[in-house]
Amino acid sequence: MNAAELDALFRQFLADRKLSGSERETLMAWAAKNITTEQQRGVARSRLFDAARQAVTETGAVEVIDFLEAAMKVIVPVQNAGVGESSSAACFSPGEACLGLIVNHIINARRTIDICVFTITDDRISNMIVAAHKRGVKIRIITDNEKAYDPGSDVPRFREAGIPVVVDESPYHMHHKFAIFDGRRMLNGSYNWTRGAAAQNEENIVDTDDARLIGKFQHEFDALWIGLPTAQ
- Of the candidates 175, 210, 219, 222, the residue annotated as catalytic is 175
Would you tell me how many other CB atoms lie within 10 Å of the CB of residue 169? Answer: 12
Would you tell me how many other CB atoms lie within 10 Å of the CB of residue 4? Answer: 9
What is d(CA 105, CA 182) in angstroms, rounded to the nearest whole number? 10
The candidate with the shortest Cα–Cα distance to 15, out of 74, 49, 63, is 63
182 is catalytic: yes
- Of the candidates 144, 154, 182, 209, the residue annotated as catalytic is 182
The candidate with the shortest Cα–Cα distance to 227, out of 139, 159, 166, is 166
* β pairing state of 177-181 and 112-117: antiparallel
Beta bridge partners of 91: 205
177 is catalytic: yes
Would you tell me how many other CB atoms lie within 10 Å of the CB of residue 122? Answer: 22
Q: At what angle do helices 61-75 and 3-14 cross, to 10 degrees?
A: 140
- Of the candidates 105, 147, 176, 177, the residue annotated as catalytic is 177
Catalytic residue annotation: 175, 177, 182
